[in-house]
Structure 1
Amino acid sequence: MSKFVPLKKNLDFKNIYQYGKSAANRYLVLYMHPNGSSIRRFGFSISKKVGNAVCRNRLRRLLKEICRLNLDRFPDGHDYVFIVRQPSFDQGYHQLEKHVWHVLGRLLN
């Protein structure tokens, strides 16, 4: 089982936004781009318009945990960036997980 690898560099985020495919729903936007290796990397972007700092960090932690526990459901060799939208600020773990699978399914079809 591979481990969870975060995306950190601004250039990586820009490349994914520019060249990656995206899918969205009311709660999340997911970008996916091949990275040329066998690892999966994840990045999270949450605007200051989404709640306060406590709320944004909670959403980031929930998304990280969803990705970490379900690494095998994400295809190998891709970078993923989640953008959280305003209506997500009051979502729980299971609701957010459902939204993640919805946008991932739209992206893979």
Structure 2
Amino acid sequence: MEEIQRLKKNTEFRKVYSKGTSLANKYLVLFFKKNDLPYSKVGFSASKKVGKSVVRNRARRLMKEGFRLYDSRLKEGFDLVFIARMNIINAEFKEIDKAMISILKRAKLLK
């Protein structure tokens, strides 16, 4: 994932939350909005409700890896924010991978 493809600033996340569309499943919540750029930007988040920092970081790593597998099939021009839900703590990567593909398909963000 190139450095330019990341959402980093709090204002960028807030803009996607307030003006974007959301979809959810058992493990993930996806917020997305059109950004009128020739590339897509993505951010990953896990709130303190998910657990302590070790658990939150693991959840973010699993989401990043799941996203990396589908990055090349993603439509350009969107800002995406993936948020981990509580159930992600006990999930295996296969389940998170299935959740990632299903939520991207429901959002019609795959080519």
Same fold by TM (over 0.5)?
yes
Using the aligned pairs only, state the percent identity: 41
Aligned to 2:40: 40
Distance 2:16 2:89 in 1: 24
**TM-score normalised over the length of structure 2:** 0.87
Correspondence list, 1:1-109, <5 A: 3=2, 5-108=5-108
Q: Runs of 4 or more off by more than 3 Å in structure 1? A: none
Letter in 1 for 2:2: K
Range with bigger deviation, 67-76 or 5-14: 67-76
Unpaired stretches in structure 2, ≥5 consecutive residues: none
Whole-Å separation in 2 of the counterparts to 1:57 and 1:63: 10
How far off its partner does 1:3 sit? 3.4
Q: What is the TM-score when the length of structure 1 is the normalising length?
A: 0.89
Number of residue pairs matched? 108
Is 2:44–2:83's contact at 8 Å kept on the other side of the alignment? Answer: yes
Alpha carbon RMSD of aligned pairs, Å? 1.7
Higher RCO, 1 vs 2 (CA within 8 Å, ≥6 residues apart): 1
Q: Unpaired runs of 5+ in structure 1?
A: none
